[in-house]
Each structure stands twice: as C-alpha cells, then as structure tokens.
Amino acid sequence: MSRKLWTYHGGLHLPDEKEISTARPLATLPLPRQLTIPLQQHIGEPTTPLVKVGDKVLKGQKIADAGAYVSAPLHAPSSGTVTAIGMAAVPHPSGMSAAAITIETDGEDRWIEDRNPVSDHKSLNPTELREKIHQAGIVGLGGAGFPSFIKLNPGARTSIDSLIINGAECEPYISCDDMLMRSRPEAVLEGAQIMAHALHADTVIIAIEENKPDAYAALRAALHGCGCSNVELVMIPIRYPTGGEKQLIKVITGREVPQNGLPIDLGIVCHNVATAASVFDAVIQDQPLISRIVTVTGEGVAQPQNLIVPLGAPIESLIEACGGYTEQAERLVMGGPMMGIAIHSDEVPVIKTANCFLLTRIPATEQSVRPCIRCGACADVCPAQLLPQQLFWYAQANDFEKVQDYNLFDCIECGCCSHVCPSHLPLVHFYRYAKNEIWEQERERGKADIARQRHEARQERQARDKAEREAKLRKKREALKAKESGSDKKDEKDSKQAAIQAALDRVRAKQHGGDNKPKNIDNLTPEQQRAIDEADARRQRMRDQEQQPNTKGEGQS
C-alpha cells in the first residue's frame, strides 16, 4: 500500500531543467595541479592546520583538525606537497578571502596506508560510528554543511522514530543527487542503515521526486537485493521547495515542525542522500570526505555534466572539463537559481557544500526593480506562511525588533517570494541582510555582556580588597589604642606572674618527690643498689633535719 502524502502552503512549480546535465554520464574530473582547501567549509568553527609548508601529504591524510565541537576535520584530497597556508580566495558572494591550505599534487594520487575498513557496521556501537563519521569530516552535503555526527546524536532522552533520506533535489538545474542515486544506490542504502543504527531509528524513508525515475528504479533494485525491511522508498510530487527539511517532513508525515523547533522534536532526523553515501564511505571503506559529485550546468557552459570532483579543485578546471564557456555565460552561481549565491571568480575552489555551478545570463528582472504594490503574491507562495512584504518593509527600515516579531528566522530563504514579485524586489537579499545584522548585534551584545561582567567582577574584587585593608587598619588602631591605655602592660605583668607561679609550683613539687622518679635503675648490681640506698638515706636525714625546729638560737636573745 502506498504511503499517504500531504501538502504544504505555498511553493512553486518550476521547470526543472535537469535534463541539461543528465544527458551525459557521470565523469571524473582530471586531477588538478593545485588544490586549495579552505579551513572553514561548514557551519561552525574553522579548523586548525596540522601541516606546515613543505610537508608531503598523502591522499586521505588529515591536514586540519576540528577546533570546536561544531566543526569537522579536513583531509588531503590527493597526495602532494603543501605549498602554502594563508589567505586565499573562497567561494563567497563578497569575493572575500579566507585561510586555506594549498597542496601541489604529485599526480600519484597515493592513499595513506593505515586505513581501517569495516565489513559490518553493526560491529560498531553508535558512539563509535559517530566518532568515525566525525573524524571523516562529513558535513551535510545538501547545502547547509552542518557537521553530520551532531545530527546523529539525538541524546539519551530523545527517541527517533524515522530517518528521512532527502533525495528530493527540488531546485532547478541541480542533478548531482540524481546521478548519485543512479550510480551508487547501494552506498546510499547502506549509509542510511548506518545512520539509522547510530540513531536507533526504527524506520528509514528515502524520498525521491517524480522527475527521477531512473534513480528510483536503481534504489528499488538495490533495496530488493539487500532485503532491508525497514527502508521505504517514497516518490513525492515535484514542487519547490519540497527539498526543504520542514516541507519534506510535512509532505511525508503530515506533521509540522514547531516554530523555533527542529525535526528531532518530532522524533525525526533528515539527511541528504549524498551525506548517506559519504557515511558509507567513511565507515565501510574508511575514506574521509575528500570528493563529491558536482553539477556544472546552464546555457553558459558548452557541455553540462556531473563530475566527481576532489575538494579544493578550482572551478575553472570543472568548466574546462565541461567544454568551457559559451557566449551566454554572464553569471556564475554556486547552487541553484533559487537559493544559490553569485560568485565573482572561477578561480575559487570547490568546497564540501558546493553541489552545483550554474552559468547563466543575468536576468533582466534584476535591472528593473520597482516599488512594492502590495499584491500579496509573495505571501501566497511562502512555504513558511510568513508575510514577506512586512518583513521587507521592516528589514528595509532597519527595524530589527519588528522584523523578528514577524518570524524572520522561520524564513528558509527559498526565494519563492522574490520569484513571483511583480516589482522584482530582491526580497531574500533583505532577509539575509536583516539576519546578518541581527546576528552581528547579538555578537556585539554578547561581547558587551562579557565586558560588563568583567567590569562588575573587577569592582567586586576592588571592594573586597578595600574592606580587607580597612579591617587590618582597624585592628592595628585598636591594638595601638589598647597599648596606649596600659592594658597591654597589665596583661604582660599578669603573664609574667603566672609564669613565676608555675615555676615555683614545679620546684615545690620536685622538692616533695612529686613525679621525680629515678632513671636508669633497671638491672642494678648489688653495689649500685646499695649506693643508691645510702644516698636516699642521706637525703632523707637532711630533709628530717630541715623540718626539725631550730633550737640552737632559742633563748640567746
């Protein structure tokens, strides 16, 4: 029986344009002469280099380690020599540079020797699996780039019912996941099983859009072969942005992720199909994330195609492998036409989250922006059920408190509102601007809070030191005052008298035999004992004489 599917508010039916890049088979990019590995390719903290300039590295060798919990290590995509560690151009809309490691490849593509493949993932417990996935540097390959081992750790108190593997790939032009499912269905299935084992998930649902029949058939054949009874393949309608996590959950389960919540709050975790295949590579083959499938497409490239690309390869090498530019190449976009970012150079490297490079003409709509006419079309297509025009007004006015009242952070930046806007307003740009400003204010507020706490702690320490100094001075003044009043002399006199009296008491006790006991009197010879007896007798006679009344002088006066 087929699963009942649901729908969600808004969304668009767009021409998919995927046949442009799927007409040619998947190919492997020739190894570039130089690879540039940015130290930050994911959400979270940047990595720390483990190599230095001049070091020889092997394929799969860890070259940068995670600097924080939300981070992922980096590995050498091929063997060669580290030629630079420093600032390099990275794929960013601002054209910014960032720290990166540059490797001059040697053409041998030689792997490290101490690899440790695992034949059965169930021989590892969930903690060991997560650590292996973490050390392999795997992040979400659907575009977000969140470290995968964190999403595979729901915590002891959270129960996961379903793992959803996202093969929707709803944005136009992008076809890398389609080609992956066609070429490596077994890796997707086993990777999903590994993640389900790590999550203790009961059910695995693989969602595929209806425009990918070949991928569906390949997965169904692989599923029949593996006999995985807990895996369900679901074909979903073509609609943008069904590939969004919250929208996909609504379509498959009919449930809605709560506002400001996460899918895990519903007992659901979502991962991309490419992430599942990378988990398979990491656990079963002990191969870190050093390459991925990338779509190179659009009317601006001569032979659109999907390529298996080592991370760090310059984008120009991908375009060259696809026949080079055409006269229609005016804009280079990383990602799809709806959510991608325009980049200004093809000399920047491929990173983990780069799933597509799209070469297009510059749309004429970008040159004809007009005022908002409040038609409401943006609200009709918003899958998050927001009020885009209100968000636009407040973002434009820099009213960041008000824009949050309208749930700015529920916006998934799908671009549906901008796409249908008759005034061609770049609405998503304003939302991104507002989000960045709010995050910046939060960071500044955090710094100010830390500075305030330090100032308050300093003031408390100074007050404490002052109180201690005053207490010492007060004590000294009291001592001096007591000395001046003579009480100290009286105390000193009393102390001396007490000492004299104690000495007299000790002498008196000694004279009366007290506790003076003879020492060393064990094992005496008879002569020694006789001498002691005679001495005692003499002392007794002397004491008796001292106690008799003195009669010599009586009557002389």
In the block, residue with structure tokens 């030629």:
83
- How far apart (Å, rounded) are the C-alpha atoms in residues 430 and 383? 18
- How far apart (Å, rounded) are the C-alpha atoms in residues 121 and 191? 10
DSSP per residue, 476-502: HHHHHHHHHTTHHHHHHHHHHHHHHHH
The phi, psi pair for 402, rounded to 5°, reads -65, -40
388-422: b (≥16 Cβ within 10 Å) or e: bbbbbbbbeeeebeebeebebebbbbbbbbbbbbe
Is 127:154 a contact under the CB 8 Å cutoff? Answer: no
pLDDT digits (tens, 9 = 90+) for 443-468: 898 999 999 999 999 999 999 999 99
- How far apart (Å, rounded) are the C-alpha atoms in residues 215 and 436? 38
Q: Is the pLDDT of residue 179 over 70?
A: yes
Q: Which two tokens stand for residue 427?
A: 């609405």
- How far apart (Å, rounded) are the C-alpha atoms in residues 174 and 156? 37
**What does the pLDDT read at residue 227?**
78
**What does the pLDDT read at residue 156?**
74
Is 286:307 a contact under the CB 8 Å cutoff? Answer: no
**What does the pLDDT read at residue 549?**
62
Q: Is the pLDDT of residue 107 over 60?
A: yes
Please give the radius of gyration of the chain, using alpha carbons only, rounded to the nearest integer.
42
**What does the pLDDT read at residue 465?**
94
Measured from the Cβ of residue 380, the count of other Cβ atoms closer than 10 Å reads: 14
Q: Is the pLDDT of residue 357 over 50?
A: yes
pLDDT digits (tens, 9 = 90+) for 227-272: 788 999 999 999 999 999 999 999 999 999 988 889 999 999 999 9
Q: Is the pLDDT of residue 157 over 90?
A: no
Average pLDDT over residues 103-118: 94
- How far apart (Å, rounded) are the C-alpha atoms in residues 249 and 393? 31
- How far apart (Å, rounded) are the C-alpha atoms in residues 101 and 37? 5
pLDDT digits (tens, 9 = 90+) for 9-28: 999 999 999 999 999 999 99
- How far apart (Å, rounded) are the C-alpha atoms in residues 287 and 198? 18
**What does the pLDDT read at residue 554?**
43
Average pLDDT over residues 103-127: 94
Those residues with Cβ within 8 angstroms of residue 321's Cβ, 6 or more apart along the chain or in another chain: 27, 29, 30, 296, 305, 307
Peptide bond into 241 cis (omega under 30): yes
Q: Is the pLDDT of residue 516 over 60?
A: no
Q: What is the DSSP letter of 269?
A: E
Which one is predicted more confidently, 536 or 222?
Answer: 222
**Cα 422 to chain centroid, rounded:** 41
Average pLDDT over residues 472-486: 86
Is 272:289 a contact under the CB 8 Å cutoff? Answer: no
Q: Is the pLDDT of residue 362 over 50?
A: yes
Sign of dihedral through CA atoms 478, 479, 481, 485? positive
Average pLDDT over residues 284-299: 96
Q: Give the CATH number of domain 18-334.
A: 3.40.50.11540
The band of 555, judged by pLDDT with boundaries at 50, 70 and 90, is very low
Average pLDDT over residues 38-43: 86
Q: What percentage of residues in the chain have a pLDDT greater than 70?
A: 94
Is 354:311 a contact under the CB 8 Å cutoff? Answer: no
Q: What percentage of residues in the chain have a pLDDT greater than 90?
A: 74
Q: Residues marked as binding for [4Fe-4S] cluster? A: 372, 375, 378, 382, 411, 414, 417, 421
**What does the pLDDT read at residue 277?**
98
**What does the pLDDT read at residue 504?**
85
The band of 556, judged by pLDDT with boundaries at 50, 70 and 90, is very low
Q: Residues marked as binding? A: 372, 375, 378, 382, 411, 414, 417, 421
The phi, psi pair for 489, rounded to 5°, reads -65, -45
Q: Is the pLDDT of residue 216 over 90?
A: yes
In the block, residue with structure tokens 């304003």:
430
Average pLDDT over residues 325-334: 94
Q: What is the mean pLDDT of the chain?
A: 90
Those residues with Cβ within 8 angstroms of residue 553's Cβ, 6 or more apart along the chain or in another chain: none
Beta bridge partners of 240: 12
pLDDT digits (tens, 9 = 90+) for 381-425: 999 999 999 999 999 999 999 999 999 999 999 999 999 999 999
The band of 557, judged by pLDDT with boundaries at 50, 70 and 90, is very low
- How far apart (Å, rounded) are the C-alpha atoms in residues 77 and 435? 34
Q: What is the DSSP letter of 78?
A: S
Give the Cα-Cα-Cα angle 315, 321, 325 (nearest 5 degrees): 70
Q: Where are the alpha helices (DSSP H) in 386-486?
A: 388-396, 400-405, 416-420, 427-484
Q: Give the CATH number of domain 367-467.
A: 1.10.1060
Q: Which two tokens stand for residue 118?
A: 């695992």
72-106: b (≥16 Cβ within 10 Å) or e: bbbbbbbbbebeebeebbbbeeeeeebbbbbbebb
Q: In the chain, where are the structural domains located? A: 18-334, 367-467
Q: Is the pLDDT of residue 341 over 50?
A: yes
The band of 139, judged by pLDDT with boundaries at 50, 70 and 90, is very high
Q: Is the pLDDT of residue 174 over 90?
A: yes
**What does the pLDDT read at residue 553?**
45
pLDDT digits (tens, 9 = 90+) for 67-89: 889 999 999 999 999 999 999 99
Beta bridge partners of 89: 97
**What does the pLDDT read at residue 145?**
87
The band of 514, judged by pLDDT with boundaries at 50, 70 and 90, is low
Those residues with Cβ within 8 angstroms of residue 467's Cβ, 6 or more apart along the chain or in another chain: none
Average pLDDT over residues 279-306: 97
**Cα 414 to chain centroid, rounded:** 25
Q: Is the pLDDT of residue 309 over 90?
A: yes
- Enclosing H/E stretch for 220: helix 213-226
Query: Do the domains at 18-334 and 367-467 have one common CATH topology?
Result: no
**What does the pLDDT read at residue 511?**
67
Q: Is the pLDDT of residue 515 over 60?
A: no
**What does the pLDDT read at residue 364?**
64
Encode 107-154 in three state secondary structure. CCCCECCCCCCCCCHHHCCHHHHHHHHHHCCCECCCCCCCEHHHHCCC
Is 343:353 a contact under the CB 8 Å cutoff? Answer: no
Is 453:459 a contact under the CB 8 Å cutoff? Answer: no
